[in-house]
Structure 1
Amino acid sequence: MATQTEGRRTTDAPAPKSSGKPEVPRWRRKLRPYLLSVPAVLIVIGILYPFFVGAWYSFLNYAAVNPNPVFVGFANYVSVLGDAQFWSSVRVTGTFAVVATLVETVIGVIIALLLNRSSIVGRIFEKVLILPLMIAPVIAAVVWKLMFNPQFGVLNHVLGLGNTFDWLSSQNALFSVILVDLWIFTPFVAILVLAGIRSLPKEPFEASEVDGASWFYMFRRLMLPMLWPYILVAVIFRFMDNLKFFDVPWVLTAGGPGVATRSLQIGAFEDSIINLDYSRGSTYMFLLWILVFITARFLVSVLGKAQRRAAGAEN
Structure 2
Amino acid sequence: MRFFICFGINRQFHSLEFAQRLLWSEGRAILKVGIIGGGRVGSRLAASLREAGVLVGITAASEQHSAQLAQQFGVPTTDNAKLWQAADVLLLTVPDRLIGTVAEELAQSVTPAAKVVLHVSGSVGLEPLAPLAQLGAHVGSLHPLQSFAGGNTKLAGVYMALDGDSEAQDAGKKLVELFGGKAFSVPAEERAAYHAAACICSNYAVAVEAMAAQLMARWTGSNEAAWEALLPLFKGTAANLQATQNPAAVLTGPIARGDVSTVAKHLAALPADVIPAYCSLGLATTSLALANGTIDENAADELRNLLGGYYG
Q: Work out whether the TM-score is over 0.5.
A: no
The structure showing larger relative contact order (alpha-carbon pairs under 8 Å, at least 6 residues apart) is: 1
Q: With the length of structure 1 as denominator, give the TM-score of the two structures.
A: 0.22
Which is greater in Rg?
1
Q: With the length of structure 2 as denominator, give the TM-score of the two structures.
A: 0.22
Higher helix fraction: Structure 1 or Structure 2? 1
Higher strand fraction: Structure 1 or Structure 2? 2
